[in-house]
Amino acid sequence: MYYDIIVAGGGIAGLTAAVYGKRAGKSVLVIEKEAFGGQITASPLVENYPALGPVSGTELADKLLQGALDAGADIELDEIVSADLGGETKKVKTAFGGEFESGAFIIATGSKHRHLGFPGEEEYSGNGISFCAVCDGAFYKGQDVAVAGGGNTALQEAVYLSEICKSVTLIHRRDSFRGEEKLVGTLKSRGNVRFVMGANIVRAFGEKSLEGIEISAGGVNESLPVKALFVAVGRDPDLNIFAPFLSRSEDGYALSGEDCKTELPGVFVAGDCRKKAVYQLTTAASDGAVAALAAVSYLS
């Protein structure tokens, strides 16, 4: 099936691109492999998206998807397993056997969770170690848990977990947080949150599931008996099979101009998979609009 524009990735960048593409009169297909809304679906509360007020990540994701559907975009929940973006007609195949072609192609595949690499991280993954507090936090209601990281994700997850868990230990490698002061203040006001700064995780242990972690701070090792550890130490770009078609930065992000154009004619990048200065919902939405309008201009 042929579309004017195919968008790979149904996060805020991809769904915004779909709306702008449709409003310019183009046929648009969005292909998403996991969850429409992307990483925002894992956010307990979004408070800094203009005009929306406090909204849960899933609620925002639903609104984004509905917006793209209302605009008339087609959507596929499927994984792109092969891509040929080099020619004038862009071609992809999906895991469920779909074959799609387009005149322009927008890569908005976002990013994936970064892992820390300590012994036991993979072994207990899904069995005490999680990368999403909203998805798994409820399993540890009333228990002692830990969060690793110092960005907004870690701080937000710690706030969320402090409301349902017995205690939360927040482990961060430096002495100050990268995340917002407002969230730090909220955590400081909670009686069940402990901060362990300048610390690294040495290993995870337990019989069948996680029973604790060993941490090291200032040369002193300590065992923390926690039932869950939520790792929230940032994300890496998820370019996957599109990587061969792109020039990339040293840390793996797709390189483009601020117009979201790549070196390949008709191929654009938007959102967190693109190298840029600020990674926020608002800038991802902005990328989606810019990439779609650049694609429309390319097509005409």
* Least distance from ligand NAP to the Cβ atom of residue 242, Å: 21
Among 234, 240, 255, 264, binds ligand NAP (CB under 6 A): 234
Between 185 and 191, CB nearer to ligand NAP: 185
Instruction: Tell which residue, 26, 16, 2, has the closest CA to residue 92.
Output: 2
Q: Does 116 bind ligand NAP (CB under 6 A)?
A: yes
Which residues ranging from 141 to 160 are in contact with ligand NAP (CB under 6 A)?
A: 149-154, 156
What does 30-81 look like in DSSP terms, one character per residue? EEESS-TBGGGGG-S-B--STTT-SB-HHHHHHHHHHHHHHHT-EEEE--EE
Q: Reply yes or no on whether 135 is catalytic.
A: yes
| Span interacting with ligand NAP, options 203-211, 215-223, 236-244, 277-285, rule CB under 6 A | 277-285
Given 74, 78, 132, 236, which residue is catalytic? 132
* Least distance from ligand NAP to the Cβ atom of residue 152, Å: 4
Give the separation between CA 91 and CA 114, rounded to whole angstroms.
30
Between 28 and 281, CB nearer to ligand NAP: 281
Between 14 and 21, CB nearer to ligand NAP: 14
| Span interacting with ligand NAP, options 84-92, 210-218, 229-237, 292-300, rule CB under 6 A | 229-237
| Positions of E strands within the chain | 2-8, 28-32, 74-77, 80-84, 90-94, 99-107, 111-113, 129-130, 144-148, 167-171, 193-196, 199-205, 212-217, 220-224, 228-231, 235-237, 267-269
* Least distance from ligand NAP to the Cβ atom of residue 175, Å: 9
Q: Does 280 bind ligand NAP (CB under 6 A)?
A: yes
Q: Reply yes or no on whether 136 is catalytic.
A: yes
| Span interacting with ligand NAP, options 6-14, 231-239, 248-256, 263-271, rule CB under 6 A | 231-239
* Least distance from ligand NAP to the Cβ atom of residue 121, Å: 11
Between 92 and 284, CB nearer to ligand NAP: 284
Q: Reply yes or no on whether 132 is catalytic.
A: yes
Tokens 């322009």 correspond to what residue? 104
Give the separation between CA 226 and CA 213, rounded to whole angstroms.
7
C-beta separation of 159 from 170 below 8 A? no
Q: Does 46 bind ligand NAP (CB under 6 A)?
A: yes
Tokens 């996957």 correspond to what residue? 240
Give the separation between CA 179 and CA 39, rounded to whole angstroms.
17
Indicate the DSSP class of residue 109: -
C-beta separation of 271 from 9 below 8 A? yes
Task: Collapse the DSSP code of 130 into the 3-class scheme (helix H, G, I; strand E, B; otherwise coil) and give the result.
Answer: strand
C-beta separation of 48 from 66 below 8 A? no
Pattern 189-218, binding to ligand NAP, x per CB under 6 A?
------------------------------
State the residues that interact with ligand NAP by CB under 6 A.
Answer: 43, 46, 48, 114, 116, 149-154, 156, 173-174, 178, 232-235, 279-281
